[in-house]
Structures are given as C-alpha cells and as structure tokens.
Amino acid sequence: MLFGYVRKYWFKYLMGILVLFGVDLLSVFIPQLTGEVTDTLGTGGSTSADIARIVLMIFLCGLGMALGRFGWRWFLFVTARKIEREMRDDLFEHLTGLSQHYYNEHKTGDLMAHFTNDISAIRMAIGPAVISVFDAVVMTVMVLFKMVRYVDGRLTLAACIPMLIILGGALYYCLVVDKFYVEKNEAFSDLSDRVQESFSGVRVIKAFVQEKREQEEFMKVNMNNRRKNLKLIRANMIFMPAIELVIGICRSIALLYGGWLVYHGEISVGHFVAFNQYIGMLVWPMIAVGDSVASFTQGHAAMKRLRKIFDAKPEITDTGRDSGIAHLKGGIELKDLSFRYLPELPEALHDINVKVPAGSTLAIIGKTGCGKTTIANLLVRLYEPTEGQILFDGHPISDIPLSVLRSDIAYVPQDNFLFSDTIQANIAFGVRKKIDMPEEKFSLSTLRKSTVQLNAYLEEDQADRYEKVNAAYNDLPAVEKAAKQACVHDNIIEFPAKYATVIGERGVTMSGGQKQRTSIARALMKDAPILILDDSLSAVDTDTEEQILSNLKEVRAGKTTVIIAHRISTIQNADHIMVLNEGRVAEYGTHEELMKLGGIYERLYEKQQLEKMLDDIAE
C-alpha cells in the first residue's frame, strides 16, 4: 500500500537521491584537500596561490554542499509531507465509507491515534529515514574508498572493524523496537480515548461528583502510557550510546595506529589529518543507521496498524450506482423484514410487513428498545437487513444508489448531533456547496499571503465572519425559513450574533429543545421526498410541538414523512400508525382504528391522557 504513494512521486525521490549523491561526492573531497594543504605547508614548498586555490576549492565544495542539502530536503522532505497529507485524506475518506458496525467496535481515541502518531511515523520512515539510509550507504562507501585509496588500507581495516558491532545491534534493535512501538501506540490510543470520553461527558462527571474518580482513572491510563514510552526510550538509551562507544573506539584506533604509521614514515601527516577527518565523517552514517532503524521499525509497526483499517471493508456497498435510479418518489415497503445487530444477539426486529404510499405519513410508536430507531437506521441503510426486504417505490434498497437514497431522505436522529460551527452552517449542512481548495505551490509569497489572510480573519468580528461563511452555504432567507418552520427562529435571534453564533461542541451551548429544533430545521432545509424524525420532539413543550406538527403538515404536503415518537399527541394525526412491541408489529392502523382495538395503543393513550390531567392539576 505504501509503495503506491511512493511510486506516485518516484521522480522527486530520484532527483532528491541524485542531489544527495552529489552532496556526498563533494563532501569526501574536503578532507583530501585539507590533507594536501597540510602536506604542502609541512614541506614549505607551497605558494600563496596554491593555498588560495585549495581554499577556493574547499569553499566551492562547501557552497555546492549547502545548495545541494537544500535541494534534497526540498525534493524528499516536502514529498514526504505530501504523502502524509494524502494518507490522512485517504484514511479519512476510507473511514467515512465504513459501515456503522465498525464504529460500534472501535473507539474514537484509537482512530485519532492513527491520524497523529501512526501517519507521522510513516512520514518519518519515507522521508528522513530514506535519506539517512541512502546517505549512510553512499557516504560510507565513498569514505572507505577514499580512506583505502588516498590514505592506507591497513589503517582503514583496523579502524573500521568495530563498526561491524553496529550491524548486530541494529538487527536486535529492530525486533525490540517493533514490539515496543506497537505497545506505545496502543497505550496512546487508550489515553486519547479516555481524554475524549471525559471531556465529552464532563457534564455527567460533574453532575455525579466523579471528578476525583475520573482523575484517578486518567492517572492509571497516563501511567501506563508513560511506562510504554519509557520502554521505547530505554531501548534508544542503550542503542544510541553504543553507537557513540563504537565511534570512540574507531577514533582511538585511528589515532594510535595512524600515529604509529606517521612515526614510521609510512603515511604523511596530511594523510593522517585527512584520515581522522574521514573517521569523523563516518560518525554520521553510523548515527544515521540507528535513526533509520528506529524510524523504519516504527514506520513498519504503524503501517501494520493502518493496514488493518484499510483492509476493513464496508458492509454497505453502493451496488446500485449503475441502476439508473435518480430520484425517489417516497413509497416505502418493509417486506418480511428481520434484523439483528450481531449473530449472537437476539433479533431487534422480526417479520415486519408495512407498506406506506408516497406522500403519506407513517408513525411508529412503542416502548423503549422495541426497534423504532433500528427501522430508521435500516431505512437510511446504515445497516443491512438480516432477512427480508426494504423497497422504495418498488425498488429494493440495494438497487438504489447510496447518493440518491441519502440525498432524498432527510433524517433527524435521536442524538440531535450538532457541529461546533455557526447555527447557520448547522442548518444548511445538508445542502452546503462544495468548497474547492486548489493546491497552491509553496513559496514565501503564498506563505505571506496566507498569514495576512489569517490575521485579517482573526481581526473580523463574528458578524463579518458570518457574511463570508454564508457564501459557502445556502442564502440566509432559506435558512431562516427552515428555522421558522422548526420554531427555533425566535430563539436564534436572541443570541448576540444571531445565526452567526458559533455553538459549542455537540451544540453544548444550546438547550435540548433548541438542539432538537435546529436538527429539524436542518432536515427541512434539505426538502427531501422522505423525512424521518426519530423521537425529535421529545424535548419540546406541547404547544411548540403542535406548532411544529402544523408546519410539517403544510410544508410536507405530498411528501412522505416517518415520525418515531413516544407521545401519542405527536403521531395521532398520521395516516398510518405502527405499534411495535419487542421488535414485532403489535398493531397497525389509524388513530381511530387503533383506539377501537382496545390494545396497547389504547392503553398507552389513556395513560398519557391521565398524566396530562395530573400535570394540569399540579400547575
């Protein structure tokens, strides 16, 4: 999988490696030139012109190396960053395409760790580590060649034998680090998930006075994360100093044996000086080997973790993309429908048979856990039926393109999820325009331009920002119209910034009723042939509920509406009412027909009427 990303930028990798090769080639000439200067000065036969020529050559080599180092960093590091960005894009796209079951089984913190630690580790492996390996190999070969050819083969062999120790250590280090890195990232995933859950549920934690307990639980997870990180750090603490020790041994041999050769006249002082410089140049390749081994090992472990995600296949596939179905009229039929979430769990729905003509209203009512929300999830194809069929306008749901199915269904789920954005953006979420983001070539001018734009944005007040955000979404009158239909407009205009008000995470700054009505406005803004409301009026008072239902009757005339509710007052005017009991259709008909049956519906109605009378008396 990773090879596909690298292959896309093979030319830039090739150019970077060629430039790096040139830098290494220039660098090995500097010790030789230094040695020549030393020998020339020692013999006393040099002229100022000779010295100036050698100094100029050293300067030109240094200048070429400086330009080359900028060049290979540009080709390779920038390319690695591009691959990192593409991997994040692809990972996000893949995750958004996975089915609901996947998110039921995987924690948010774990998924976040893949976007941060794992992809960053892969970027280090395909960027700096590639450079380090190539540079280490090329530099070592060039330096050894110069040491043997220009200085002395015996001295080279004696000084470099200790370097073989590094090879054995590197192999052992690979095995250790791979295991430790996986453990470290799993610990970080647990830590991220604990933090995410604690912050998301902070109101519950405070309401039940569980701050101390949460702190203790966090300390346990944090301590485990510390232990796993220390195991990896200890491995580095042993390996990297070992490399330094080997380097010291090589230097000692070079000084002792090289000095002996100079003393006996077998090599010149200039050669001795050059040789010690070459030994110094081997320090980087040996350190690079350690860094590369660590980066490649961690990158390999990260790639294994990511591959598990990319190998996960969505259970819901777009099998109907070529069916030619471009629009839904609104007819719904559930035929012998049964469903269970997992094979080992009992059925959530059993043998459901319902037919809803286009343009009519279906109401679903029943006790908690009877399968009402499950039907809503099946209608938008978040899950596949275990048995039976779901048909829209006579077409099996699997034959309808997912884009058509979900575009023509406006769904208000139970949790009323709102994004940390403006109220306007939340309401217009389902119809927002695509925002094109062309890739700009990096330059100092574009960086300055981006900085100026950011500063200007930060200096704007909320109202000015709202006017600009508005351009990416539908026009304000349409948003206001949907808000009025959902009876939330009057609440919104009471906020200081009105529709430009940025609500907190999950809409935390809004009340439960406001969040519900904002979610309904978002669905009405979509104006889809089919509207599904999953217990979306439970947090509003009866007067507001009646007004919303009245508005729905007007704006949804001739369109199909599915209303899931607990209160009979919400659904009694529906064309069809389905009473669920333990996943089965217990009763079906209109309000009047169900009242005549004297069954579950009639008892529920009388109970709610009595509760309403008692509430009225209490007031």
Is CATH 3.40.50.970 the right assignment for the domain spanning 417-432+446-527? no
Q: Helix 542-555 and helix 512-526: axis angle, to 10°?
A: 0
Extents of the domains making up the chain = 80-311, 320-408+528-619, 417-432+446-527
Considering only residues 107 and 369, tell me which one the structure prediction assigns the higher pLDDT.
369
Q: Helix 10-27 and helix 48-97: axis angle, to 10°?
A: 150
**What is the amino acid identity at position 534?**
D
CATH of domain 80-311: 1.20.1560.10
Give residues with Cβ within 8 angstroms of 458, minimum separation 6.
none
Give residues with Cβ within 8 angstroms of 432, minimum separation 6.
425, 472, 473, 474
DSSP per residue, 408-425: SEEEE-TT----SSBHHH
What's the distance, CA 449 to chain centroid? 27
- pLDDT tens digits, one per residue of 379-398: 988 888 889 999 998 888 88
- CA dist., res. 496 & res. 509, Å (int): 13
Give residues with Cβ within 8 angstroms of 481, minimum separation 6.
none
- The pair phi, psi for residue 412, each rounded to 5°, is -110, 100
Task: Give the CA diameter of the chain.
Answer: 122
- pLDDT tens digits, one per residue of 565-576: 888 888 888 889
Q: State yes or no: pLDDT of 457 exceeds 70.
A: no
Give residues with Cβ within 8 angstroms of 107, minimum separation 6.
189, 193
- CA dist., res. 288 & res. 240, Å (int): 10
Q: How many CB atoms lie under 10 A from the CB of residue 317?
A: 13
DSSP per residue, 140-191: HHHHHHHIIIII-HHHHHHHHGGGHHHHHHHHHHHHHHHHHHHHHHHHHHHH
Contact between 400 and 325 under an 8 Å Cβ cutoff? The reply is yes
CATH topology of domain 320-408+528-619: Rossmann fold (3.40.50)
Considering only residues 419 and 364, tell me which one the structure prediction assigns the higher pLDDT.
364
Considering only residues 359 and 41, tell me which one the structure prediction assigns the higher pLDDT.
359
Q: How many CB atoms lie under 10 A from the CB of residue 15?
A: 17
Residue 362 confidence class, pLDDT cut points 50, 70, 90: very high
| pLDDT at site 465 | 46
- CA dist., res. 586 & res. 371, Å (int): 12
What's the distance, CA 601 to chain centroid? 46
- pLDDT tens digits, one per residue of 270-301: 777 777 777 777 766 776 776 677 777 777 77
Residue 472 confidence class, pLDDT cut points 50, 70, 90: very low
Q: State yes or no: pLDDT of 448 exceeds 50.
A: no
- pLDDT tens digits, one per residue of 91-102: 888 888 887 777
Tell me the sheet residues that pair with 396. 391
- pLDDT tens digits, one per residue of 175-213: 676 677 778 877 887 887 788 777 777 777 776 777 788
344 token code pair: 């080992």
- pLDDT tens digits, one per residue of 59-93: 888 888 888 888 878 888 888 888 888 888 888 88
- Classify residue 69 by burial, with Cβ atoms within 10 Å: 0-12, 13-18, 19+: middle
Contact between 453 and 488 under an 8 Å Cβ cutoff? The reply is no
Q: State yes or no: pLDDT of 446 exceeds 50.
A: no
**Domains 80-311 and 320-408+528-619 equal at CATH topology level:** no
Long-range Cβ contact pairs of 308-312 (< 8 A, separation 24 or more) = 309/91, 309/94, 309/95, 309/111, 309/114, 310/1, 310/91, 310/94, 312/94, 312/98, 312/102
Integer angstrom CA distances of residue 433 from 52, 139, 480, 536: 67, 53, 18, 26
- The pair phi, psi for residue 562, each rounded to 5°, is -115, 120
Give residues with Cβ within 8 angstroms of 584, minimum separation 6.
349, 350, 351, 352
- Segment 305-329 shows an average pLDDT of 80
**What is the amino acid identity at position 327?**
H
292 token code pair: 């590369």
Buried b (16+ CB within 10 A) or exposed e, 80-95: bebbbeebbeebeeeb
Integer angstrom CA distances of residue 618 from 150, 569, 607: 103, 20, 17
What single DSSP character describes residue 613?
H
- pLDDT tens digits, one per residue of 493-534: 888 888 888 887 777 778 888 888 888 888 888 888 899 998
Please tell me the pTM assigned to this model: 0.69
Q: How far apart are the first and last CA of the chain?
A: 67
Long-range Cβ contact pairs of 393-399 (< 8 A, separation 24 or more) = 393/328, 393/329, 393/330, 393/331, 393/358, 394/331, 394/333, 395/323, 395/325, 398/319, 398/320, 399/319, 399/320, 399/323, 399/325
- CA dist., res. 225 & res. 64, Å (int): 45
Q: Helix 153-160 and helix 269-281: axis angle, to 10°?
A: 30
Please, what is the Cα angle at 564 between 559 and 565, to 5 degrees?
A: 130
| pLDDT at site 287 | 67
- CA dist., res. 608 & res. 606, Å (int): 5
594 token code pair: 């169900």
Give residues with Cβ within 8 angstroms of 431, minimum separation 6.
473, 474, 525, 526
- Segment 603-607 shows an average pLDDT of 86
